């Protein structure tokens, strides 16, 4: 029993010594055009390298490109599961992310796309990001929103489900990089971080999201709805 206890304690200690977690803090400003079904945005995030390694590149998930055609990993997964939704959809029902122009600390950098997965990008850093250092990565972007019947991201009429929509770095941990294509079935391994997000919508839309609402007029609108709901006995 004592040997077992010592073994477990050493394993936990060893794991703790090897553990690290990268830090990513986002600022995103995005607007919805509900006529063209396009999100137009600008993103900036501070990326802190808490690993013991120097990083010469950073993988970026560009998951809206999973809706680009019927050859993506998501489309092939759905086809194997008997769902031919991407085969039957017109081009206007599909989606993608474009208008990207990545900069690191204000300086343009090269973006490479994975040859097999257009929803995985790779930012080539001009100088290695050393352990303990932080850089600021920014880019404009546009997301052409797909038909909401394909997967989690998209619109059905004037109802929008916005998930996995912004460029974000893949996880880097003690096992290395975890760049992966978007899949309808499967969870998403992502870095934790803080988010400061500004969303601009037409007046006839209401946002349902997590986080702390900051717009005073929207807070008053929701409080009014609470009072109206109570009056109706709901």
Residue 217's pLDDT is what? 81
**Quick one: pLDDT at residue 122?**
98
User: Where on the phi/psi map is residue 158: left (φ > 0), alpha (ψ -120 to 50), or beta?
Assistant: alpha
Q: Domains of the chain, with CATH numbers? A: 19-212 (2.60.40)
Give me 155's structure tokens. Answer: 């619109």
Query: Locate tokens 């009014």: which residue?
Result: 224
Residue 5: the pLDDT is 42
Tens-digit pLDDT profile for residues 71-95: 999 999 999 988 888 888 888 899 9
Instruction: Give me the phi and psi of 223, to 5 degrees please.
Output: -65, -35
CB 123 within 8 A of CB 137: yes
Rounded Cα distance between 147 and 122, Å, is 27
Which pLDDT belongs to residue 145? 97
What is the three-class DSSP state of 193?
Answer: coil
Specify the pLDDT at position 188.
77
Contact of 170 with 159, CB cutoff 8 Å: no
| Cross-strand partners of 177 | 172
Q: Is 132 left (phi over 0), alpha (psi -120 to 50) or beta?
A: left
Alpha-carbon span 191 to 173, nearest angstrom: 10
Q: Which residues of the chain have pLDDT under 50?
A: 1-15
Q: What is the Rg, in whole angstroms, of the alpha carbon atoms belonging to the chain?
A: 21
User: What single-letter DSSP state applies at residue 147?
Assistant: B
What's the confidence (pLDDT) of residue 1? Answer: 40
Note whether 167 and 61 are within 8 A (CB). Answer: yes
């Amino acid at each position: 029993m004592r040997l077992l206890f010592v073994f477990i304690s050493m394993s936990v200690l060893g794991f703790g010594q090897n553990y690290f977690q990268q830090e990513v803090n986002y600022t995103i400003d995005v607007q919805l055009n509900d006529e063209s079904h396009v999100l137009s945005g600008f993103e900036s995030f501070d990326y802190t390298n808490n690993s013991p390694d120097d990083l010469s590149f950073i993988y970026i998930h560009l998951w809206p490109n999973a809706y680009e055609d019927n050859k993506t990993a998501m489309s092939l997964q759905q086809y194997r599961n008997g769902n031919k939704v991407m085969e039957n959809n017109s081009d206007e029902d599909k989606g993608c992310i474009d208008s990207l122009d990545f900069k690191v600390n204000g300086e343009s950098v090269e973006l490479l796309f994975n040859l097999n997965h257009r929803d995985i990008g790779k930012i080539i850093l001009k100088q290695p990001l050393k352990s303990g250092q932080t850089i600021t990565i920014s880019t404009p972007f546009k997301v052409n929103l797909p038909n909401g019947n394909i997967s989690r991201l998209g619109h059905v009429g004037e109802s929008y489900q916005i998930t996995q929509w912004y460029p974000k770095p893949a996880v880097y941990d003690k096992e290395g990089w975890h760049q992966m294509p978007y899949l309808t079935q499967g969870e998403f391994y992502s870095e934790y971080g803080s988010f400061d997000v500004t969303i601009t919508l037409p007046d006839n839309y209401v946002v349902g999201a997590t986080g702390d609402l900051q717009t005073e007029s929207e807070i008053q609108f929701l409080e009014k709805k609470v009072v109206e709901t109570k009056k109706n006995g709901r």
